Structures are given as structure tokens and as C-alpha cells.
Amino acid sequence: MSTAEVAQRLKSTWETPKTLWGWFATVDHKEIGIRYLATAMAFLIVGGLEALVLRIQLSRPNMGLIPPEMYNQLFTMHGITMIFWYAQPILSGFAVFVIPLMIGARDMAFPRLNAFTYWVYLLSGILVYISPFMGQAPHAGWFAYMPYTGEQFSPAYGMDFYALSLILFTISMTGGAINFIVTILRLRAPGMTVNRMPLFLYSTLTISWVSIFGMPSLTAANVFMELDRRWGTHFFGIAGGGNPVLWQQLFWFFGHPWVYIIFLPATGMLSMIIPVFSRRPIVGYPWVAISTILTGAVGFSVWLHHMFTVGMSAMAMSFFSAGSMMISIFTTIQVFAWVATIWKGRLVMTAAMHYALGAVALLVIGGLSGVFTGIIPVDWQAHNTYYVVAHIHYVLIGANVFPVFAGFYYWLPKMTGRMMNEKLGKWSFWTMFIGFNVGFFPMHIVGLLGMPRRIYTYPAGLGFESLNMIETIGAFVLGIGILMSIVNLFYSLRRGAIAGKNPWNADTLEWSTDSPPEPYAHVHMPTVSSRHPLWDDYDEFDDPDDDRIYDEGRLTPVSDWLDAVPFAVSKMPKETISPLLLSLAMFGFFLALIFQMMWCALAGFIAMLLLTCYWLWPRVEGEEIA
């Protein structure tokens, strides 16, 4: 058979029908990855608009734009939207799209689970956004401390929405983590041994394990909270022998690893982008890989630094203070590896590289203010002030939003087939960078001046006025910068230059596919002989006898997790509607639980059960090729 015939055959095997049913039933990781990205961007915009309302309210003393309760609901929705429904899912989006291409597989290890986790993610976001329309949004900040969130002080449904939509969200994130782990450990192209894995795989693998061990804590905390609120138990109430600090322990045992979950893949993206635009391999590959893993591991022993003011033994606090400092060593190793790469390389200053360099700069500032808050006496001073707000925004915007935008400018040509406008991209970068620093750097100062976080207004004459006005202006400039990139996206979708296979002359396997990639990715499945497949002399796709086409159905090779020696062929499922139906049933189940309509919940549970049975039932595949 000629190559064209083979390609046609592969295409008919792998392509999702372009019908309404196909749109809902697709299990194609490229489609799902783009949906993750689009949904997370939508949440970024919603959360950003909420932030702008907050900033207007704070721009002048004694502003009366929104009442206090609404201010509480807005900053809470801003926080949970950004931290849960934007920051991690957007990285999942990149990972879902890029990783199978990067490792030379034809899909994720569990394609239907992949679709399911996307739908659950989307529906959990919809679930929590029902509450503002009832006027009862969660109102206790993203970490929802007890006892304020108990039934006594928060009788509205807001905190129930918080607890149950987060449980639904953890289901999605845990499913995604399982999928990433099995994909990365089993589906790598022959020859892609662990010491040749692109660094983005290291960071995604690390955070997937961190999710596996971190998310249950959030689930347990939210179950306890819901039981306490509506079912009369005594986990957190002192009167019943409970302990409100239990909530903080559980939440932060999840919460701090979560910071690394939304931070490490972004550094992994930087470790991919910076070497490509420095035109050389990254300096210190093994050190970056090891420090990524160690950040994830040590990330589990720092959570108490969120609670230094709770009142604990000096021994416990010193231990966790030291752990927090230790983390900064691992981050510093990565930063120095990037700096050395830039130093030894020849820079190509694309828009993506602008964002990457900006991210490194902001990460250093945010990291340093983090070291300060890790020191116990400084933490006591700065606790619950705008200093902490400045710190988390430098870390999260510096080490998440900027790398994500770098990733957009880098990988969007692969997704859409068209180049983004470089000039508009650089304008967007400088607007965002200046806007961000103008908006958030003064927060360090107002924080040290003593302005507490989460207050809906402040009196005049405390020295906060001008700085808060500057912050508001900066926040709007940041918003305009983000808007410019969104305009750039829609412009490039129609008018952008055709990207071609490898517009950046990059080194990893995803750049050997068409842009946008065909549903089967590669005709000949690649083999790999170095860390930089497309930069070496070895031909990854050399296959004279057509041994590695795998066109007898949806197949992808399976290799050993350590040495990537192939030993089996994995059969992939076809598109199916059951992930969507199951996630809808789950949505109904959780919605019923919020309002304690137990018969509806039981109906939802039975529906989930039947749909799972339908999903897993072995189909007679005689008429297909097995």
C-alpha cells in the first residue's frame, strides 16, 4: 500500500464523525485538550472580571460599589475560580493535547476516562456557578475556614455548593492524574527511556502523583464540612468535642501540594520553551528533572507554614519553616538551569520567549517573597495582609499565567495550524507585564503598612489610598493585555500565517506531526534515540518494511516504563457517549446532595451505576478488527 492509502486508512479508523453525536462522544485527546484550554480560559476571564469589580471597589476609601456580603462572595468566587477551575485545568489542557504527541502515542492511555474527566470538570464548574445566581455564593475565601463556614454562621447554600462542587472537581482531577500516570509510564515511544523524557513529562508525572496523594485530603475535609453543616456531626465544633483546626490541617495538607500542582507543569513548559528559543539543549537536564520530583515530594511537608499563627509548638513550626526553605532550593535549581540555558544559547526573541522570560522574572520575585513568609516571625507580621496577596499573585501569575501564555504562543500553531501575530503578542506581553507589576507590586507595600486582605473597604487617611488606586489601574492594564492576546487568537485563527509542521524548529516529537495534527498523529510510529528527537541525525520515522503503522484498528504501542522497550500493542476504544452521560448523572447526584433531596440523589446514584455498567460492558467486536 502506498503511504497515502495507509494514511487514508488510519484516518478512517481514528477520525471522530463530524456530527453532533461525534462532538459529544469524542475521545480524541486533541479535541479534549482544546476543550480543556477553552473552558479554563473562560474561567480565567470570568475570574478576571470578578477581580476587576473587586479592584474598583478598593480603588478609593469608603467606596460603596458593592455591599460587604457581595464583596465576600466575589473574592471567594474569584479565588476558587482561578485556583481550581482555571489554574490546573489549563495545564491539564496543554498536557492532554501535547503529551500523547510528545511521546509518540496515538491517544491517552484511557481515552474515555479522558473525556469523562473533562465533562466532570466542566460540570463541576457549572455546579459552583449556579450559586451566584441564587445569590448564595460561597463567601469564606478559597480556603473556607471553619467555624465560619459552619451552618451557624453560613446558613445559606453557598458553602454546600463549595464543598460538593469541589468533591466533584477532585473526581475529575484524580481521574486525570491516573490517566497521565499510566499514559506517561506506558505509552512512550520505543527508545524514549526515562532519561530521554522531555521535562514537561517529568513535571506532569510528578504533579499527577501529587494529585493522587493530595486530593483525598480535600475530599475528606469537604465531606466532614458537609456532614457538620447538614447532618449533625461534630468534626469542627468545639462544643461537640471537635476541632476547627482540623479543617486547616486537612485543607492545607491538600492546599500546599496543590500550589505545586499548578506550578510545576508551568515550569515544565518553561523547560520546554526556553531551550527551543535559546537554540540549545537545556543546561542540567537531570538536575531539573530531579528538582521537579523533589519539589513534588517535599511539597507534602510544608503545609503548616500556612498556619504559623494558629499556635503550634516551636518544634513543629521550625520543621515546616525549614521544609519551606528547602523547596526554594529546588526552584532555584530550575531557575539557574534556565538562566544558564539562556546565557549559553542564542536567543530568538519570539512572543513565547518574552512570556517565558517574564515568567522567570516574576517567579523570582514571588519566590523571594515566599521565602520571607516562610520565616516564622516575618510570617506573623505579614499574615493575612496584602503582602500575602502580593506573594500568591506573583507566584500564580508569574509561574502559571505567564508560562501558560508562553505555552499558547508556542503550541497554538500546532493546535490551529496558524501562527499567532508576533507583534501583537509582544505588545500584549509588555502590557500584561507592566500592568501586572503596577497592579501587584504595591500590594507588598500596603501589606507591610498593615492593610488586611479580604476587607471590602478601608477608611481614608491610612496611607492606602494612592497605592490602591495604582493597583486598580495596573489590574485594568493587565486585563487589557490579556484581551489583546485573545484578540490575537481570533485574528490568527482567520488571518494567521500557515504554521507548517515545525515553525519553531523545536526538538520534541509533537512538532513532527501536521499542524493541526491528523487524528492518528503519525503514520509510522516513531522510535527515539536521544533527548531531542528532531535535533539529532536519527530518523524517528524510518520504517522501510511498514512495521510500525498499526492500522489494524485503533492501536498504539506499549513500552516498558523504565527503558521504553516495546512489548505489547494497546487497543484503544472508539468514541462513546457514555462518559458524558455518566458525568451528567454525577452532576445530578451532587446537585441533589446540595439540597439534600435524598431520593433524587438515590436516583442519580442508580443512574450512575447503570451507566457505568453500560460503559464497561464488553462489546462484541467481531465485525470490527480486534
Q: Which residues bind other proteins (CB under 8 A)?
A: 109-110, 113, 174, 177-178, 181-182, 185-186, 212-213, 215-217, 219-220, 223-224, 227, 231-235, 240-243, 246, 249-250, 253, 545-548, 550, 552, 555, 557-558, 566-573, 609, 613, 616, 618-619, 621-623, 625-626
In the bound complex, what is the minimum distance in angstroms from residue 613's beta carbon to other proteins?
6
501 near 515, Cβ under 8 Å?
Answer: yes
92 vs 219 by CB, closer to other proteins: 219
Q: Which of 268, 255, 271, 281 is nearest to 206 (CA)?
A: 268
In the bound complex, what is the minimum distance in angstroms from residue 243's beta carbon to other proteins?
6
**Cis, peptide link before residue 216, omega less than 30° from 0:** no
Q: Which of 379, 377, 371 is nearest to 306 (CA)?
A: 379
421 near 496, Cβ under 8 Å?
Answer: yes
In the bound complex, what is the minimum distance in angstroms from residue 88's beta carbon to other proteins?
16
User: Across the strands, what pairs with 418?
Assistant: 498
In the bound complex, what is the minimum distance in angstroms from residue 256's beta carbon to other proteins?
15
214 vs 268 by CB, closer to other proteins: 214
44 vs 572 by CB, closer to other proteins: 572
In the bound complex, what is the minimum distance in angstroms from residue 250's beta carbon to other proteins?
7
In the bound complex, what is the minimum distance in angstroms from residue 449's beta carbon to other proteins?
37
What residues contact 597, with CB distance under 8 A and at least 6 apart?
A: none
What residues contact 100, with CB distance under 8 A and at least 6 apart?
A: 29, 106, 107, 108, 183, 187, 521
In the bound complex, what is the minimum distance in angstroms from residue 620's beta carbon to other proteins?
8
In the bound complex, what is the minimum distance in angstroms from residue 82's beta carbon to other proteins?
25
96 vs 396 by CB, closer to other proteins: 96
Q: Which triple of cell numbers denotes residue 49?
A: 472580571
φ/ψ of residue 545, rounded to 5: -95, 10
In the bound complex, what is the minimum distance in angstroms from residue 569's beta carbon to other proteins?
5
Q: Which of 187, 207, 197 is nearest to 91 (CA)?
A: 207
178 vs 434 by CB, closer to other proteins: 178
What residues contact 523, with CB distance under 8 A and at least 6 apart?
A: 3, 6, 7, 10, 541, 549
286 vs 544 by CB, closer to other proteins: 544
Q: Which triple of cell numbers denotes residue 366?
A: 514571588
27 near 574, Cβ under 8 Å?
Answer: yes
248 near 310, Cβ under 8 Å?
Answer: yes
In the bound complex, what is the minimum distance in angstroms from residue 573's beta carbon to other proteins?
8
231 vs 490 by CB, closer to other proteins: 231
314 vs 616 by CB, closer to other proteins: 616
3-state helix, strand, coil in the chain (%, to 5): 65, 0, 30
In the bound complex, what is the minimum distance in angstroms from residue 183's beta carbon to other proteins?
10
Single-letter amino acid code for the residue at 393: H
In the bound complex, what is the minimum distance in angstroms from residue 119's beta carbon to other proteins?
18
* The length of the chain, given as a count of residues: 626
Element (H, E) at 592: helix 578-594
380 vs 567 by CB, closer to other proteins: 567
**Cis, peptide link before residue 147, omega less than 30° from 0:** yes
Q: Which of 196, 209, 190 is nearest to 532 (CA)?
A: 196
Q: If you search the block for the grid coordinates 462544643, which residue do you land on?
A: 239
148 near 65, Cβ under 8 Å?
Answer: no
Q: Which of 314, 295, 294 is nearest to 304 (CA)?
A: 314
186 vs 531 by CB, closer to other proteins: 186
39 vs 559 by CB, closer to other proteins: 559
460 vs 610 by CB, closer to other proteins: 610
